[in-house]
Amino acid sequence: MKLLTLDSPSGPTAGAMLESGEVVNFARAAKANSVEAWLPPRLTDILKAGPEGLAVTRALVERVAGCVADDRARLLAGGGLMAPGTAKLLAPIPEPSMILAIGLAYKSHLAEMSNTPAPPHPSAFLKIPASINGPDAPIHVPPQAPGHIDFEGELAIVIGRTCHNVSPADAMDYVVGYTVCNDVSARDWVQRVWSATTPWESRWSWEVNIMGKSLPGFTPIGPVITTADEIGDPSALKLTTRLNGNIMQSAEVSDMIFPLAEVVSYFSRWYTFQPGDIITTGTPAGVGVGRKPPVFMKAGDTIEVEISKIGVLRNFLVESANQPHAAVGQ
């Protein structure tokens, strides 16, 4: 299944995308007085219901996909089914309780960053949920850090059930599916990370570098969550990032240093992941800051991240409506 969240007059509501590109609105497509009518509006709450919730969802999607012409016409008229391209999609999980972002994850990315040595174990940081953004939504240029806005196309894991202190052998059983992420990064101060010579400079510069990834709208995800059964082996997926139509990143997920099962298991030692939590899995070579000369995004640009079997996450950069501030660290 390809699960999603769409905008509606009553607020964000769960749905799915059919192979045809049509979108099913669960709330409007559900049969009255049936178990389908139980489905909650939030995708996170469906995931919290466990296998039973997904089973009801799958049955609804299969019923709609296979319905006869008269039933299809009624669904289209009633908003239970929407023609391709007519639904406004939001982030599939608009409010995750946690976003864990893996760094230093791809061999090719370490090579482009001055041959950075591979870490001995997975490395990560937290992004705030308020940075979540959706597909085809604007990314506002932050007035306090406008000069070096970078892209990082990433595969994102979506957790399907409570996950804590699990083994690598069991870790992938807790993954419900995968989506596309762009770990947008304001790098106006990144040179200070590399040139720091004192403990305070090192700490301050790294903290600001991480905070520059949690600005409003800097974590676009979507357009859908493809369930794990349809993905199969995630390492076989291919990621492509395009800036204004030009390919900037092109890589197989198999280039990751650590297998995804090891990544989930490692961080579950400390964190308790809940249904709907997001783990972004790092970016391959081709980011703007790693290029010579560097390539950064600006207002008017369109950035796309595409992952096979999932889809294309598209966003565009616009000037911020906020009053300008002094650049951070200037």
Q: What's the pLDDT band for 114 if we cut at 50, 70, 90?
A: low
Cα angle 41, 133, 306; round to 5: 100
Phi, psi of 96 (to 5 degrees): -70, 150
pLDDT at residue number 329: 45
Q: Which of 98-102, 144-148, 238-242 has the lowest mean pLDDT?
A: 144-148
CB 64 within 8 A of CB 18: yes
At 322, the pLDDT band (50, 70, 90 cuts) reads low
Please name the fold of domain 99-319: Fumarylacetoacetate hydrolase; domain 2 (3.90.850)
Q: What is the DSSP letter of 27?
A: H
Residue 330 has pLDDT above 50, yes or no: no
Residue 226's SS3 state is strand
pTM: 0.93
Tally of CB atoms within 10 A around 227: 20
Q: What average pLDDT score do residues 176-181 get? A: 98
Q: What are the domain boundaries of the chain? A: 2-90, 99-319
Asked if residues 83 and 76 have their Cβ atoms less than 8 Å apart, the reply is yes
Over residues 164-181, the mean pLDDT reads 98
pLDDT tens column, 237-260: 999 999 999 999 999 999 999 999
Number of H helices, E strands in the chain: 10, 19
**In the structure, what pLDDT confidence band is assigned to residue 108 with cuts at 50, 70 and 90?**
confident
Decide if 172 contacts 221 (C-beta within 8 A).
Answer: no
Class of domain 2-90: mainly beta
Tokens 């297998």 identify what position?
A: 259
* Sign of the CA dihedral with 69 first, then 75, 79, and 82 last: negative
Residue 260's H or E segment, with its range, is helix 260-267
- CA-CA distance, 33 to 36, in Å (whole number)? 8
Q: What's the token pair of residue 45?
A: 């709450």
CB 266 within 8 A of CB 164: no
Strands (E) across 87-209 are located at 89-90, 99-103, 123-127, 132-133, 137-141, 149-150, 153-159, 175-182, 185-186
